[in-house]
Every structure is written in C-alpha cells, then in structure tokens.
Structure 1
Amino acid sequence: MSTVILIMGEPGQGKTTSMQNLNPETTVYFDCDKKGLPWRGWRKQYNKEKENYFATSNAGAIYNALESIDKEKPEIKTVVVDTLNWIMIDEEFKRMKEKGYDKWQDLAFSVKALISKAKQLRDDLTAVFVAHTQTETDDSGMIFTRMKTSGRKLEKISVESMFNTVLLAKCVDGHYFFETQARNSTARSPMGAFETFEIDNDIVEVIKVLEEF
C-alpha cells in the first residue's frame, strides 16, 4: 500500500512551493492547474522530454498514468497531483450543459476513484495531492476550514476522510508552514508522527517522517 498525502490551503500559502525539494529524477508531476511551478529553474527539472511533467486535469488520463507508473516505472517514488480542484472543474465543465444528479455523482466517483487508485500503488510510492480550501463561518460564529469541493456529493463523501495525512498550508508574517492537526480545520496526521503542531512546509521531510513512522 502506498502513502497518500493531502496538502490543502488557500492560494499563496506555499502548497506547490513545498514540492521544490523533491528529486525530479524520481518524481512525476501532474500540473492540473497548468500554470507551471513557482521556483526558478523548474523547467529544466520537470518537462515532457523527461516524461516527469504533465499539464493535465483529465482524471482518466491521470488514473491511467498512475497505473503505468506503478507497473512500469520502478524508479519513480513520488507522484504529485496539483490540484484536485482543477480535476473537479474539468469534469464539471465537460458536462456543464447537462442537468440532473448523475453528473455530480459521476464527478464524485472520478475523484474518489483517483484517490483510491493512488492508495493501491506499490509500497515504495508516495502520492501527494494538492487542493484549495474554503473557510466558512456558521451561525454561532465558529470558523472552519476544509477542502473546497464541487457538488454536494463530494461534501458528503468528505474527501479528507480518504487520507491519513492532511496538512494545512499557511503563511504568517512570511513564515510558511504546515499545520499537522485540526484546529478549526480538517487537518489530520497519524498520532505521534509529528512532534509539533506546526512543521516546515517541506514535503520531502514530511515523506521521511511518514516512511519512518
């Protein structure tokens, strides 16, 4: 069973930047937002020629690519899917003229199937999913942050529940970090894996901790 991680947060909070220390020789990056990566020199690290960078938000294509990586590319140790939200938007736009419940059910299934496939990859693979968040205030004034989803079906599924590790990316006074446990959010991590509530936003260090846990 592979390791799956969800990194969530608002734009500009360091979600994608936290991937910059990954080894491009052992990483495949699915840029679903199709906006490129935010650090200098990334095009030399990740590109089509190296077959480690794909600008796509097609859930089926990513699903098939995960199967291929699992069976045919033992050198790959990490896959990044950035972001789940654009996969949802892609599926939604394909069927925007359709009415009824079925399209939302199919959208939820495609997201669930993709995450489930990632969890079934070989033991030495880590799949990192990235997602945007939304923060809501209820009638009592309580503020709560969760992953942003499309359609009520995905809200009912609670995408975060499919992950043992959900880290909330934040930036405060220029300091970028991950929250490892819930504090008015759906953040979570295995009990005792991380010694502190806040950790540096370096996915390589996160993977090391989870491998040793």
Structure 2
Amino acid sequence: MSRVICIAGESGSGKTTAMRNLDPKTTLYIDCDKKGLSWKGWRTQYNEKNKNYIRTDFASVVEQALKKVDQDQNWKRFQVVVIDTLNGLMVADEMRRSKEKGYDKWVDLAACVWDLVCHAHDLRDDLTIVFTAHTQTEHDEAGYMFTRIKTSGKKLDKICLESKFNTVLLSKCVDGKYLFETQANNSTAKSPMGAFAEKEIENDIVKVIKALEEF
C-alpha cells in the first residue's frame, strides 16, 4: 500500500512551493494546472528531457502515469509522485463537458476523481503520492467558519474527498511565514496521532514524508 497525502490550501498559500526540496531524480511531477512550478530553477529540475514532468489536465493521463510508476521498470526510480492540483483535473473535465446537460456528467466527474484517489492507495509500498487541492471556507449565519477541499459539484461534496486520506495538511501563510496545519481547527486538516508534535509545522513536504515514514 502506497502512502497518500493531500496538501490543501488557498491559491498562494504555498502548496506547490512545499515541493521545492524533493529530489527531482526520484520525483515525478504532474502539473495539472499547467502553470509551471513556483521556485527559481524548477525548469532545470523538472522537464521532458529529465522525463520527470508531465503537463496535463486529463485524469486518464494521470491514471496511466500512476500505473507506469507502479509497474514499469523504467519508472521504478520514482519514489514520490506529485499531482498538482486535483482541482485542475476537476475544472478541466467540467469545462470540456460544459455543454452536456443532466446529472450523469456530475456522477462521471465524481467517479473519475474518486477512482484516481482510490487507485493511488493501491500502488507499491515504497511510493508516496502527494495530491494538492484548493480549499474553500464556508461561513454560516452565526459566524462559524469551516475550511475544506474545494470540489466541483454536490456529488463530490457528499462523498467527502478528505475521507480517502489519512493525512490532510492545510497550507497557510501566517505573518509572512508559510506553514502546514496538521490538526483540525475549523478545517478538515488531519494527520495520524503522534506523527507530528506540533499543530503547525514547516511548509516542507520532504520533512512531512520523513515524519510519516518514521511513524
């Protein structure tokens, strides 16, 4: 069973930047937003020549890449796969099918995303899959706020994507410092009990993976 992590947060909260210290030799980066990465020098680290960078917003292409990483000897060098972002896949599929009417397209969209996340858990044991996702914060009449993964369509809301992850870290910027929230605080953030000593940790996926490996 592979290790699957979700990093969720608003745009600009440091989700992509958190991947800056990963080893490009053992990391496959799937750019579903197709906007490039967010640190200086990333183009020399992740590119087609190095065969470690895929730019796509088709869930089927991501699914094929995961299968290759799991089964193809030429792809076994990868220890981490980053899928950035789930919302890039959801929105692209929704826009491609914008002229379709009826409920079926929302069921298909939910199934596509759900199947992808489920499949990520069934890969080889030495693999870590990192999904990133945008969040939305809801407010009720009493002023209560709650932050969760942003989804396309009510079907995915009912499914609750967070339920498929043992670790959901909320990325945020506090006083100019980028952090991960490790436990729920009016949010769906969560992590295995005892994996992290603090409720807020440094925004660095390498340290997160190491802590979960030791756990």
**TM-score band, normalised by shorter chain:** over 0.9
Q: Tell me, yes or no, if structure 1 residue 133 matches structure 2 residue 138.
A: no
Q: Give the aligned partner of residue 50 of structure 2.
A: 50
Deviations 1:50-93 (A, max 9, x none): 11101111000100110011111221000000000010011111
Which of 74, 77, 102 in structure 1 is aligned with 2:76?
Answer: 74
For residues 157-176 of structure 1, the aligned pairs below 5 Å read 157-176=159-178
Partner of 2:86: 84
CA distance in 1, matches of 2:95, 2:10: 22
Q: Counterparts of 1:192-203 in structure 2 under 5 Å?
A: 192-203=194-205
Distance in 2 between the 1:95 and 1:14 partners? 30
Q: Secondary structure at the match of 2:28?
A: strand
1:197 CA displacement: 0.2
**Equivalent position of 2:114 in the other structure:** 112
> After TM superposition, where is structure 1 displaced by more than 6 Å over at least 4 residues in a row?
none
Instruction: Letter of the 1:183 partner, please give it.
Output: N
RMSD across aligned C-alpha pairs, in angstroms? 0.6
Query: 1 CA distance for matches of 2:60 and 2:115?
Result: 9
Give, in angstroms, the shift of residue 41 of structure 1.
0.7
Could you list the per-position Cα deviations for residues 20-73 of structure 1 after superposition, in whole angstroms to 9, with x for gaps in the alignment?
A: 000000000011111111111101100011111011110001001100111112
Superposed CA deviations along residues 126-176 of structure 1, whole A, max 9, x for unmatched, are: 000000000110122100001100000000000011000000001011111
State how far apart, in whole Å, the 1-side matches of 2:51 and 2:62 are: 13
Structure 1 match to 2:101: 99
Q: Take 2:96 and 2:9, find their aligned partners in 1: how far apart are those partners?
A: 26
Structure 1 length-normalised TM: 0.99
Aligned partners of 2:69 and 2:176: how far apart in 1? Answer: 37
- In the alignment, what sits opposite 1:179? 181
Deviates most, 103-112 or 86-95:
86-95
Which whole-Å deviations, capped at 9, do the CAs of 1:107-141 have from their partners, x for residues lacking one? 00000011111111100000000000001101221
1:38 corresponds in structure 2 to 38
- Number of aligned residue pairs: give it: 213
* Gap regions ≥5 residues in structure 2: none
Distance 1:116 1:51 in 2: 25
Amino acid paired to 1:8: A
CA distance in 2: counterparts of 1:123 and 1:15, whole angstroms: 24
The residue type equivalent to 1:12 in the other structure is G
Distance 2:141 2:151 in 1: 21
Displacement, 1:3?
0.4
SS of the equivalent of 1:24 reads coil
Alpha-carbon distance between aligned partners in 1 of 2:127 and 2:162, rounded to the nearest angstrom: 20
